[in-house]
Amino acid sequence: MTLALGLHGGCGTLERSLMSEEAWAQSRAHMGAALKAGWAILAGGGRAVEAVEAVVVALEDSPHFNAGYGAALNENGRHELDASIMDGATLEAGAVCATTRIRNPIRAARKVMESGRAVLLTGAAADDFAAAAGLDIVAPDYFTTQRRVEALAKLRERGRLGTIVAASEAEKHGTVGAVARDGAGNLAAATSTGGFNNKPRGRVGDSPIVGAGTYARNGVCAVSCTGQGEIFIRRVAAYDCAARIMYGGQTLAAASDELVQKILASHDIGAGMIALGAEGDPRAPFNTIGMFRGWIGAARRIVVGAHEDLHDLGPA
């Protein structure tokens, strides 16, 4: 029985010199707490799909990541949140997109999966579904933090000045995700995001798309992606990782590295993913200056990182 758990908090980390020690310490603590929440489920005999949900809920509730509380604002200054979850044991999946009132979109994705009525629900219908399912509903401005308001204002100011309107990497790719392997060998993956600051209204990225931003299949791999979603959709990135293993005989290491460093990088985008192989071996490739990431593996220690170096937060 090899339990394993991994997360990412987006490949849009700031340069080390621009990240305050306080912000990094908090991000580190929140990643550690998220991993602990998921690990408690795995160690208690819970299922992988429950563990990834718990990890993502914790990251959604942290203001340091671009999902749930603290999510990015779109071009209209509103939040439109996307999430998906997949159970590698059954290939069941659930997802929501363009939600505006669900405190934890990943919980709604799980409820959609369990409903059996749909895989993907969009917009107000997803909000209403979540409310009917008894999930926490919040006012749309619950998600708004000062950091995102300032980031959007800065982008708009740049737009007015006629300079290139581009989000910094840090604002672009704050998506969160988790992958897990439980004691029965089941894999699961989950992803949640606010998209990117100043994104077009109604734009849906790869995070709620099974096969693009999220994929899990027992005996193959579990994958959650971060980066410019449009390219991940066009490259069917998460499933491509699995297909390379299933049909091409690649290892997870080769498949995920080739995908991130070669295929996705060829589009000149920031890209990263957290992945587990069939036996729980973690991989966290990224082609940006950093990626918030962490895992608990065979050594049962909590390891997190933002740039190249890793921090050991102690035993799980």
Provide the binding-site residues for a copy of itself, judged by CB under 8 A: 86, 91-93, 97-98, 117-126, 128-129, 200-205, 209-212, 215, 229-230, 233-236, 239-240, 243-244, 246-248
State the Cα angle at 196 between 193 and 201, rounded to 5°: 95
Structure tokens at 129: 């579904």
Q: Please, which residues bridge with residue 193 across strands?
A: 82
Q: From the CB of 258, what's the least distance to a copy of itself, in Å?
A: 12
Structure tokens at 34: 């998220």
| Neighbour order of strands in the sheet with 221-227 | 214-217, 221-227, 271-277, 282-283
CB nearer a copy of itself, residue 122 or residue 288: 122
Catalytic residue among 99, 122, 175, 214: 175
Query: How far apart, in whole angstroms, are the C-alpha atoms of residue 85 and residue 112?
Result: 9
Query: How far apart, in whole angstroms, are the C-alpha atoms of residue 182 and residue 220?
Result: 14
Quickly list DSSP for 217-233.
ETTTEEEEEEE-HHHHH
CB-based burial of residue 266 (10 Å sphere; 0-12 exposed, 13-18 middle, 19+ buried)?
Answer: exposed
Q: From the CB of 294, what's the least distance to a copy of itself, in Å?
A: 27
Q: From the CB of 255, what's the least distance to a copy of itself, in Å?
A: 10
175 is known as an active-site residue: yes
Query: How far apart, in whole angstroms, are the C-alpha atoms of residue 264 and residue 258?
Result: 9
Q: From the CB of 17, what's the least distance to a copy of itself, in Å?
A: 32
* Residue 87 φ then ψ, to 5°: -100, 110
Task: Give the H or E element holding residue 42.
Answer: helix 21-43
Per the listing, tokens 């700031």 go with: 14
Query: How far apart, in whole angstroms, are the C-alpha atoms of residue 269 and residue 278?
Result: 28
Q: From the CB of 231, what's the least distance to a copy of itself, in Å?
A: 9
* Residue 255 φ then ψ, to 5°: -65, -50
Q: From the CB of 262, what's the least distance to a copy of itself, in Å?
A: 15
Q: Which residues are catalytic?
A: 175
